Amino acid sequence: MPLSGTSDDDASGAPGNPQHSRRILLPGIALMVLACLALVSLAIYQVRWIAPELGRIQGRIGHSFEVIKAARFLERTLTGAERSERNYLITGDAARLAHYRDLAHQAPALLWKLRRLAVDSPGQGPLLPALERDVGLALERMQRIDETYQRRGLESARQELRAHLDNDPVRRLGLLIDQIVAGEDRRLAELQARFARHEETFAAVALVAGLLALAVMALGILQLVQAFRSARSAAEARHMSEARFRLFVSGVVDYAVYTLDTEGRVTSWNAGAQRIKGYSEREILGRNVARFYTEEDQKAGVPRLALETAKREGRYEAEAQRVRKDGTIFWAHVVLDSIRDASGRLLGFVKVTRDVTDRRAQQEALDQARAALAQAQKMEALGQLTGGVAHDFNNLLTVILGSLETLEMRLKAGRQDVAKFVESARRGADRAADLVARLLAFARRQPLEPRPVNPNTLVSGVVTLMRRALSESILVETVLAAGEWWVSADRSQLENAVLNLILNARDAMPGGGRLTLETANAFLDESYARAHDDVVPGQYAMIAVSDTGVGMSRDQVARAFEPFYTTKDAGQGSGLGLSQVYGFVKQSHGHVKIYSEAGTGTTVKLYLPRLEGPIPEETAAPQPAERITGVETILLVEDDEDVRGFAAESLVELGYRVVQAGDAKSALSALGTGEGIDLLVSDVGLPNGVNGRQLAESACRRKPGLKVLFTSGYARNAIVHHGVLDAGVQFLGKPFTQSSLARRVREILDRPPG
């Protein structure tokens, strides 16, 4: 020390000099006094501030662990209660019911305990009201299911359970508890960092105390002994504090809490780590943390990446698979925090691991249950649709087959009074075709031919057409908006949709009332789009049909668009009108909304996207061809022999020359024979891997300018994309009659080429 060196030099230079001795003694005494005062001050600082602060930190650590323990116990209790109740509803085991009631009885006391503990934790206060609410909702829902079972039986309780699967307060409760635990985890990390800083301060104090003790050693053994005793007392206090902290950490069994050095080697190990990972403290100390990772993660360098991330960012958090001592795999939620001293030097890492295998298994089971429920609902809806189709088609087939059989019997008997049976069979076939068209409309699979349409003009035309079909007791009003936006839609399908709505309104007012048709411009904003599926924000033209009839209940409105669902009496409706409207509007990228109240009336609003671009001039609808016969040559391609035979005979009867083919290969061969083909009439769906669209492309390459007419009962991808016929495609939907075939063929043949 400098002091010791100066004293030795002076003593050797003037030994025995009293004045010099006093000059040395007085500064030495002054130094001793100052050193003693400083030593006493440092000792007081250690005893009165550092030790109590460490005690407070330990108390806060213990409090955090109590909050975590109470939160997890509450979570397990409510989850166990819900699981026991569900198991009881599934198995009927009375022991499960008793277990649920026992756990549900414990929950309020556990919530009170958690609230009492968490109210003193920083940042936890705002979460407690939501926690109390969700606990109350969870207990209320479980109690309601229990009461439903007591009053109405097991199946009603199961229905009550399924009805609230998507609104699960227990799951929200788990998320809130995870937030509480995460907050306490962060607080633990902060306390550990504070402990490390205090430990450094404590060490610095001990070092200063030792230096002062050495400085006064030459002046008196008493001062040296006093300094030694003070340093020893401080060290004992520090070691006692560290021992208490380690005792707190080692007592935690639900979490693996352990520390690592800067290279990732384990330096401490608690009881929770031993329980979760299977290693004893003696086995694991000094081992690298990489042994807890799967072989795949080790090869990918995940352990090194985790340490580097925590070193760089201060924290690494993940949920991944880990390996126990016995080789078994489990899912773990891992938090790795770096520990640094006041200067920023890395001291090591603290790692907290929680086994979340059971939680993930519960979540997977819940997801599987939801998927199974969705599949069951889907199959139920499909069964209802199939049953409705079968019922209606069987009725129609009964009419058609019965009429044809009677017709055959009378013709064999030479009787000529068969017109009514021919008409009955025709009506049955027309109704069957209409049923198929409605089903395709609902499924959004009908081929549409969108054209610019003025909603005001369309509504005016429909009202003029329908006035004769409405009784005089129904007052018809129209409210047409000035400057109504045009839309791009299939005009005939839009007219059918409005007609369906008018007929439904008429049937809802058997005693008369007011029928209002309205048009308006509308903007559906972001908030409306978020509240309604498949709605794109933007500008729409709106067509509304309102009545003052019987109206519908909320449950009826929710099912109004389902196929074969009807509020009318048996035999009064097919149940496909609104489903056809819904399918058409959705296929046209629009939106449909029903507003109804029982006893007041109903309003149905159709929203179709505004037509962008210049507005075309309105022109008269094209007139059908007057002449339907001809002498041209037609190549008819159809794989169904009955359909091909009917179409060929119809065309021959109209005067055309017909070349028949059953597939694309035969058609191309016929085209290459030199026949002067004027028109190709082809089914879209053909066998042997070549469809009608591909056939037409090949035929047009061989004979440029060849006119083509496609037929199909369902053409989804070959000539129809996104529900709209491809540009330039001429199409005749099945089923078709001789007259519709004749008009369409003549119309195409009469068109100028190009």
Q: Give me the residue spans of the domains in the chain.
A: 31-228, 251-355, 370-440, 449-609, 633-750
| 481, 520 Cβ separation under 8 angstroms | yes
Mean per-residue pLDDT over the chain, rounded: 75
Q: What is the mean pLDDT of residues 12-29?
A: 48
- Does the pLDDT value for residue 675 go beyond 70? no
- Does the pLDDT value for residue 559 go beyond 70? yes
Q: What's the pLDDT score for residue 722? A: 46
Token couple for 240: 């006692």
For the ranges 12-26, 249-263, 575-589, the lowest mean pLDDT is seen at 12-26
Looking at domain 251-355, its CATH class is: alpha beta
601: alpha, beta or left, given left = phi > 0 and alpha = psi -120 to 50? left
Residue 610 DSSP symbol:
B
Residue 265 DSSP symbol:
B
DSSP 665-721: HHHHHHHTTT----EEEEESS-STT--HHHHHHHHHHHSTT-EEEEEES--SSSSEE
For the ranges 512-526, 621-635, 693-707, the lowest mean pLDDT is seen at 621-635
The confidence band for 543, taking pLDDT boundaries of 50, 70 and 90, is very high
Q: What's the pLDDT score for residue 193? A: 78
- Does the pLDDT value for residue 387 go beyond 70? no
Looking at domain 449-609, its CATH class is: alpha beta
| 544, 518 Cβ separation under 8 angstroms | yes
pTM: 0.37
Q: Which residue in 646, 530, 400, 352 sits closest to 660, CA to CA?
A: 646
Cβ-in-10-Å burial (0-12, 13-18, 19+) of 66 comes to middle
Q: In what order do the strands lie in the sheet with 707-712?
A: 657-661, 633-637, 679-683, 707-712, 731-733
Element (H, E) at 522: strand 513-524
- Is 370-440 in CATH node 3.30.1380? no
DSSP 310-329: HHHHSEEEEEEEEE-TTS-E
The confidence band for 384, taking pLDDT boundaries of 50, 70 and 90, is low
Looking at domain 31-228, its CATH class is: mainly alpha
What does the pLDDT look like over 567-603, one tens digit per residue? 665 445 555 567 778 877 887 888 988 898 888 889 9
Q: What's the pLDDT score for residue 294? A: 92
Q: Which residue in 243, 187, 199, 245 sits closest to 342, CA to CA?
A: 199
Token couple for 271: 């009881």
Q: What is the mean pLDDT of residues 84-96?
A: 75
* Strand blocks (E) in 120-262: 256-260
Element (H, E) at 530: helix 526-531
How far is the C-alpha of 130 from the C-alpha of 177, rounded, in Å? 10
The confidence band for 667, taking pLDDT boundaries of 50, 70 and 90, is confident
Give the bridge partners for 268, in sequence order: 259
Q: What's the pLDDT score for residue 360? A: 85
What does the pLDDT look like over 141-160, one tens digit per residue? 777 777 777 787 777 777 76
Q: What's the pLDDT score for residue 160? A: 67
Q: List, in order, residues 6 or more apart from 474 with CB less than 8 Å away.
A: 506, 509, 512, 513, 514, 515
DSSP 129-164: HHHHHHHHHHHHHHHHHHHHHHHH-HHHHHHHHHHT
Quickly name the fold that domain 633-750 has.
Answer: Rossmann fold (3.40.50)
What does the pLDDT look like over 418-442, one tens digit per residue? 676 677 667 666 666 655 555 554 4
- Does the pLDDT value for residue 334 go beyond 70? yes
